[in-house]
A = this chain, B = another copy of it.
Amino acid sequence: MPLTRNDLARLDAADPLAGHRDAFDLPEGVIYLDGNSLGAMPRSVPGRMSRTLGTEWRTGLIRSWRGPEGWMTLPHRVGDAIAGLIGAQAGEVVVADSTSVNLFKLLAAALAMRPDRRTILTEADNFPTDIYMAQGLARLLGDRAHLKVAKRADLAASLDDDTAVLTLTHVDYRTAEIHDMAGLTRRAHDKGALVLWDLAHSAGAVPVDLNGAHADLAVGCGYKYLNGGPGAPAYLFVARRHQDELTQPLSGWLGHEAPFAFEPGYRPASGIARALCGTPPVLSLSALEEGVATVAAAGMPALRAKSMALTQRFIELVEQECPGLTLFSPRDAERRGSQVSFRHPRAEAVMEGLIAEGVIGDLRMPDVLRFGFAPLYLRFVDLWDAVAVLKRVATAIDARGAAAS
């Protein structure tokens, strides 16, 4: 029996997260299936920004750095809020810099923790910037580091006695396939290696249990499912057991034990603060705090349940309505994050057509249409409406292709 729009409306009526959509200010005429690239704006952000500008910057000026609610505490406060979403404890996560910069810090730290090893192991389909950063570090270190890039299926077998750190993105940015975090971490530990997880496509949509998986290190991004705004600062996790030995090369003053003592030599701060470097972008960081709060308010179990239902229904609908598209994501919802990708031979034209009609997904060249499902603000009927447009656009493009051939 084919799915109908009424079936989807019934799912919305029963959705325990339906009310959370009101926490976002969504534009008219758009079905937004790209919350995995840039989350929608929480309604609380303009008010928060008014306070940050008016009370903190304008009136408080330099005085706003200090005090229990001051800007100095923001990286830790927001980090602690994120910790609650990824299976970490307070004091294990801090917000800083960009995901790429944080990856560099922690890859270098991991090599320093395994001084008799030189291999950074990653997978060929890791998010490119993660690979680029590892390449940059390996180039800088010359013969003291070596980047090994393995196929996904060969990862565990590629771990060896020279592997200092295995670095992987938990949820694949194209297919949404989820790595077995606990299993791979155990395999790496069995070989004496550390593991660094990139949670960019996980946090806020897919449950992560860093401490449950006995993870060592992690980084992640603030502007996707955490709804922190364009280019929101990133975060990093260092398991408490590693913090005292953490040596990271971007040893800026905010990672110093006494940043305002202006000592001539760097002394790493105790705890996660030693992973900080320079002064954080407070305006962007304040918006991130609002975004993280939208996720925390819903709770990860409910978000995961809705995310799985959304992606499942979307796959069913696309396969029902658009036979020219081929699923590129895992069919098993347990193995799938919160995006769904399909291949189409004229994907670029299809995505252009979708965006022109207000259905916003994105394209991963050459032929992947990627759709993200932010469970906080998407409705099930949005799936129907998006697929109706997709059907019309793809049918027209397929017809033009047939006519031309």
Q: A-side interface residues toward B, CB under 8 Å?
A: 25-27, 30, 32, 34, 37-38, 40-41, 45-46, 49-50, 53-54, 56-59, 61-65, 71, 97-101, 104, 108, 124, 128-129, 131-133, 135-137, 139-142, 144, 149, 223, 229-234, 247-253, 256, 260-266, 277-285, 287, 355, 360, 362, 364-365
Residues of chain B within 8 A of A45, CB atoms compared: 53, 57
**Cβ contact of A100, chosen from B233, B263, B278, cutoff 8 A:** B278
With contacts A30-B61, A98-B279, A264-B124 taken as known, whether A56 is within 8 angstroms of B252 at the C-beta atoms is: no
B27 contacts A132, C-beta separation under 8 Å: no
A230 contacts B71, C-beta separation under 8 Å: yes
**Cβ contact of A265, chosen from B61, B62, B63, B135, cutoff 8 A:** B135
A278 contacts B97, C-beta separation under 8 Å: yes
Residues of chain B within 8 A of A140, CB atoms compared: 108, 140-141, 249
Residues of chain B within 8 A of A261, CB atoms compared: 365
A128 contacts B284, C-beta separation under 8 Å: no
Q: Which B residue sits closest to A230, measured CB to CB? A: B282
Which of A71, A234, A277 has most chain B Cβ within 10 Å?
Answer: A277
Residues of chain B within 8 A of A364, CB atoms compared: 262
Given contacts A41-B58, A131-B264, 5 further A-B pairs with CB under 8 A are A40-B58, A64-B230, A98-B278, A108-B140, A136-B250
Residues of chain B within 8 A of A98, CB atoms compared: 97, 252, 277-279
B284 contacts A251, C-beta separation under 8 Å: no
A278 contacts B56, C-beta separation under 8 Å: no
> Nearest Cβ distance between residue A99 and chain B, in whole angstroms?
6
> Nearest Cβ distance between residue A119 and chain B, in whole angstroms?
17
A122 CA to B126 CA in the complex, in Å? Answer: 39
